[in-house]
Amino acid sequence: MKIKDHFLTKEIFEVKETQYKGVLKTQNIPENLEKYYESNKYLSHSKDNSLKSKIYQYTQKLNEKYKLKIISKYKKTGKILDYGCGDGSFLKFMKNNNYSIIGYEPNSKALNNAIYKIGKENTINSLNDIENNSIDIITLWHVLEHISNPEKILNELKNKLKKNGILIIAIPNYKSYDAKYYKENWAAWDVPRHIYHYSKEGAINFFNLNQFNVIHTYPLPFDSFYISLISENYSKNYFSLLRFPFIGILSNIKALKNKNYSSLIYILNK
């Protein structure tokens, strides 16, 4: 399958199957991958007054409350590490809800924003800064797909978790209805920034093979709307503002039966 980097360079990248069934990988990842993030339009790290940005910010606030609701089912309080914390918004929200917070963010611009929001004392430069068996909750919100060596990182994170700790991972699902509808224009391919691409079955198998138990999955129901909006722009469709909410709703309705939501949250323990 060949996918265009619609977001930035318009280059074409090939996506192929890996040794893990249901897990795909972007081929020929550029050595200067960090350059593919250096855009003011990259919404994980910046804000503007565009419709896309406003929808992103609105869904981010809804998602924060939704994430807290899920996390509190397993841990009412405790120490939480957000691996790939972006600008620190989620951790600031969790701190305001009585969780002890730690953030790791490799992007320097985003890290500076996180330090401003949550304080330098609540950020780390490396996982080596954290003692083993010391963290109650580790979260990766749309981060795993960006990681070139996920097996290594999962093993390191496992060592940081307490015996009864939980790992929470949210990733896009390339077998969702919106992915199938938009095909190569599906925004969550996001090559080459997204190195790996997971189906639900592929993710569960991948986690199991890396010594994690999947104890529950949850949808991220708002993602289908935001992804559909961007995908409409990539597809250059007419009446995209009318179509994207319909595709977002339809994706969630179809997922009620097959559980293939646009994005899924996986609750793991070791």
User: Tell me, what's the pLDDT at 52?
Assistant: 65
The predicted-structure confidence for 112-162, as pLDDT tens digits, reads as follows 999 999 999 999 999 999 999 999 999 999 999 999 999 999 999 999 999
Strand runs labelled E in 175-224: 196-198, 213-219
Sequence-ordered list of residues with C-beta below 8 angstroms from that of 225, at least 6 positions apart, any chain: 55, 59, 244, 245, 248, 249
- Distance from CA of residue 210 to its chain's centroid? 19
In percent, the amount of the chain with pLDDT more than 70 equals 95
pLDDT beyond 60 at 47: no
Smallest CA-to-CA distance from 16 within 26, 28, 7, 6 is with 26
Classify 33 as helix, strand or coil.
helix
Cβ-contact 208, 258 below 8 angstroms: no
Q: Region 244-270: what's the mean pLDDT? A: 98
The predicted-structure confidence for 55-76, as pLDDT tens digits, reads as follows 777 888 889 999 999 999 999 9
Between CA 116 and CA 219 the distance in angstroms is 31
Q: How confident is the model at residue 45 (pLDDT cuts 50, 70, 90)?
A: very low
Amino acid identity of residue 266, one-letter, is Y
Smallest CA-to-CA distance from 210 within 149, 142, 136, 145 is with 149
User: Tell me, what's the pLDDT at 85?
Assistant: 97
The predicted-structure confidence for 214-252, as pLDDT tens digits, reads as follows 999 999 999 999 999 999 999 998 888 789 999 999 999
The predicted-structure confidence for 158-192, as pLDDT tens digits, reads as follows 999 999 999 999 999 999 999 999 999 999 999 99
- Distance from CA of residue 63 to its chain's centroid? 12
Sequence-ordered list of residues with C-beta below 8 angstroms from that of 270, at least 6 positions apart, any chain: 158, 161, 163, 165, 167, 211, 212, 213
Between CA 199 and CA 214 the distance in angstroms is 14
User: Tell me, what's the pLDDT at 203?
Assistant: 99
Q: Which residue ranges form the domains of the chain, and what is each CATH number?
A: 2-269 (3.40.50.150)
Between CA 129 and CA 230 the distance in angstroms is 37
The predicted-structure confidence for 7-44, as pLDDT tens digits, reads as follows 999 999 999 999 999 999 999 999 999 999 876 665 45
CB neighbour burial string for 22-46, b if at least 16 within 10 angstroms, e if fewer: bbbbbeeeeeeeeebbeeeebbbbe
